[in-house]
A and B are shown apart, each in its own frame.
Chain A
Amino acid sequence: MVISEKLDRFFDEKMKEYPTQRSFLVPMLLYTQDELGYLTNEAIAHIAKKVDLTELEVRNVISYYSMLRTKPLGKYHVQVCTNISCMLRGGEEVFEHCKQRLGIGHKQATPDGLFSLEEVECIGACSWAPAVQVNYDFHENLTPEKMDAVLDQYSRKAKQ
């Protein structure tokens, strides 16, 4: 099985909620990525078959959505917002700090595969800026010092 049976069954159930087969495609791609780390060739083929599209049609959808990826990134994907509200409160400094500390740039991963970094657009945390999402978890009202604590927390989590 390319994806877990549990996930596959979940997709089958959700697909029943729509009048066309491909409707659940975007969430399906995102949940598959969450399980596998990225959208592998095998996963794309599997999903294409499931929704009765060609692999090319599925890739065409993937390339539109900024969260979807066809290459692996870090286990903890650090997404730093530098859009206006975050920029005004130090979002760029937080991004710069992450670059220095992790020794990587935009859309790169650390050699151990633990962290990756991305400068992202507005994540809806404007009133709690500057903000970062690590995978799906929000970290808000950050400073470079607080960002260190956030990264330390994930480093520790990885060792457990």
Chain B
Amino acid sequence: MADLVSHPDETRVVSQRFGKGAADINRHLELDGYKAVQKALQMQPDDIINEVKTSNLRGRGGAGFSTGMKWAFVPKQSDKPKYILVNGDESEPGTCKDRLILEHDPHSVIEGVVIAGLAVGAKVGYVYIRGEYRYLVDIMRKAIADAYAKGFLGKNIFGSGKDFDVHWHTGAGAYEVGEESALMESLEGKRGIPRIRPPFPAIVGLWGGPTVINNVETLASVPHIILMGGQKFADYGPPKNGGTRLFCLSGHINKPGVYELPLGYPLKKMIYEVGGGIPNGRKLKAVVPGGSSTFVLTAEEADQMNMDFDSFSKRGEFLGSGGVVVLDDQTCMVKFALRVMKFYQHESCGWCIPCREGTDWLKKTLTRFHAGGGLKKDIDNIKYLAQNMLGRTFCPLGDAAAIPTMSIVDKWRSEFEAHLEGRPCPFEPEGSRTISELPVIA
């Protein structure tokens, strides 16, 4: 089981029940569990949506879209059933927070689903958990069964006269399924090929019905928002960036772990105070701010960044998924770019040609480049290939592969030059192996 950490700067909202045995429904009830649903049952649907809008809660999966707005897009009247779909396909490299929520507080997710359902008029929710997280599927199965046994799910929940069903579901290994339209395809029993939008899932989603798709952390925040009030949650963060966020510190850092900090928390403080700084007396070289799909920051940029959506979007960049990966000065950025590309090449479904071909060519070029077979013109070509994936695919996987690559070429061009024409990687100890090969097709 994953170890828990703590730091005095933490604001425990979503993580307030971590380590307290709250996966057990009775323990969860002692810790104010299922109070928010009962409160929401007394509220009008529009009031629930307005409370969430007031909270400034934005999607915790990475896109950062306003949750209240997303819910408001669902039409009031619909011939087809409406659905709530929980995205627990956490697979963004560097991200391991939903895992802790599902392990320590699965009922908060169930509660969030029911509240979302009450807000948009859905009666069914599905919790999709990635296939590798089997122990969490088992925890969720038990949590759902316990909630049914108590009458919190099923017919006439809490004696309200309203019905609500929650079902669990699991994937079987596919990063791309974390993208909302691919997630729906997978839940419908198909290959996780993305759908073209519009229509958006809020209008045409699961089995053609209006569907709200939210990340685990997003929905786990909702019960707390309902209980404390949207304004209090909003006040934890800077304007338009409500609440706290689970940040997953990993890489070259003394105290890796998942910490819940207010949005807008300075990245420098996060690395040096919360995370205890860089091991072995080394210096910071780069930071991946929110999963491998985000623009990579230099040490100088990292010193000035605040961790909220708008601080990044005003630079044309993304806060991402909460996965903060720290790289020290002994890290080879060419090798890093190669490992990132190897991942996207492996995960590309092949549906859109720019992504299928682009990731493959980039992996091949970067492999050759890192091994010392690079040419000067390759450096610009790597960036050119990445740029040509950007915005030209159905789902954001193509963008996700392009963004880190472009930023690494732009910011660490000198490291590419140091690998040119037969020179061994300056960061590799002599005789060490080069990066291992994953097969082109899994």
Task: Answer yes or no: are A and B bound together in one complex.
Answer: yes
Q: Secondary structure of the B side of the interface?
A: loop
Min CB–CB distance B137 → chain A (angstroms)? 8
A121 to B327, CA, bound (A): 19
Residues in B with CB closer than 8 Å to A88 are 250-252, 325, 327, 331
Residues in B with CB closer than 8 Å to A75 are none
B325 and A106: CB pair below 8 A? no
Instruction: Tally chain A residues at the interface, Cβ within 8 Å.
Output: 49
Residues in A with CB closer than 8 Å to B191 are 60-61, 63-64
A8 to B153, CA, bound (A): 25
Residues 138-187 of B contacting A (Cβ, < 8 Å): 165, 167, 169-175, 186-187
A23 and B187: CB pair below 8 A? yes
A24 and B436: CB pair below 8 A? no
Residues 48-88 of A contacting B (Cβ, < 8 Å): 51, 60-61, 63-68, 82-85, 87-88
A18, A25, A27, A67: the one within 8 Å of B132 (CB): A67
B251 and A119: CB pair below 8 A? no
A111 to B343, CA, bound (A): 29
A42 to B333, CA, bound (A): 48
B130, B189, B251: the one within 8 Å of A84 (CB): B251
**CB-CB under 8 A for A107 and B439, given A26-B170, A64-B174, A128-B256:** yes
Residues in B with CB closer than 8 Å to A104 are none
Min CB–CB distance B378 → chain A (angstroms)? 22
Instruction: Tally chain B residues at the interface, Cβ within 8 Å.
Output: 64
A17 and B165: CB pair below 8 A? yes
Say if the beta carbon of B315 comes within 8 Å of chain A.
no
B439 and A136: CB pair below 8 A? no
**CB-CB under 8 A for A121 and B347, given A20-B188, A64-B192:** yes
A14 to B317, CA, bound (A): 42
Say if the beta carbon of B349 comes within 8 Å of chain A.
yes
A68 and B323: CB pair below 8 A? no
CB-CB nearest in chain B for A121: B343
As a 0/1 sequence over residues 52 to 96 of chain B, the CB contacts with chain A under 8 angstroms (1 = contact) are: 000000000000000000000000000001000000001111111
A20 to B187, CA, bound (A): 10
A122 and B172: CB pair below 8 A? no
A85 and B2: CB pair below 8 A? no
B94, B186, B331, B439: the one within 8 Å of A126 (CB): B94
Say if the beta carbon of B403 comes within 8 Å of chain A.
no
Min CB–CB distance B178 → chain A (angstroms)? 11
Residues in B with CB closer than 8 Å to A14 are 167
As a 0/1 sequence over residues 31 to 43 of chain B, the CB contacts with chain A under 8 angstroms (1 = contact) are: 0000000000000
Residues in A with CB closer than 8 Å to B187 are 23
A133 to B15, CA, bound (A): 25
A127 and B250: CB pair below 8 A? yes
B172 and A124: CB pair below 8 A? no
**CB-CB under 8 A for A84 and B173, given A122-B92, A124-B90:** no
Residues in B with CB closer than 8 Å to A137 are 135
Say if the beta carbon of A125 comes within 8 Å of chain B.
yes
A1 to B370, CA, bound (A): 52
A64 to B167, CA, bound (A): 23
Residues in A with CB closer than 8 Å to B169 are 24, 26-27
As a 0/1 sequence over residues 240 to 265 of chain B, the CB contacts with chain A under 8 angstroms (1 = contact) are: 00000000111110001110000000
A121 to B343, CA, bound (A): 7
Residues in B with CB closer than 8 Å to A23 are 187-189
Residues in A with CB closer than 8 Å to B3 are 128, 140
A67 to B132, CA, bound (A): 8
Min CB–CB distance A53 → chain B (angstroms)? 8
Known pairs A67-B172, A88-B327, A121-B93 / 9 extra A-B pairs, C-beta < 8 Å: A18-B167, A24-B169, A65-B174, A87-B339, A121-B91, A122-B95, A126-B95, A127-B249, A138-B1
26 contacts between A and B (CB under 8 A): A14-B167, A22-B188, A23-B187, A23-B189, A26-B170, A26-B171, A26-B189, A65-B173, A65-B174, A66-B172, A66-B173, A67-B131, A68-B173, A84-B325, A88-B252, A88-B325, A89-B252, A95-B436, A119-B438, A122-B94, A124-B96, A126-B325, A127-B256, A128-B2, A128-B96, A129-B250
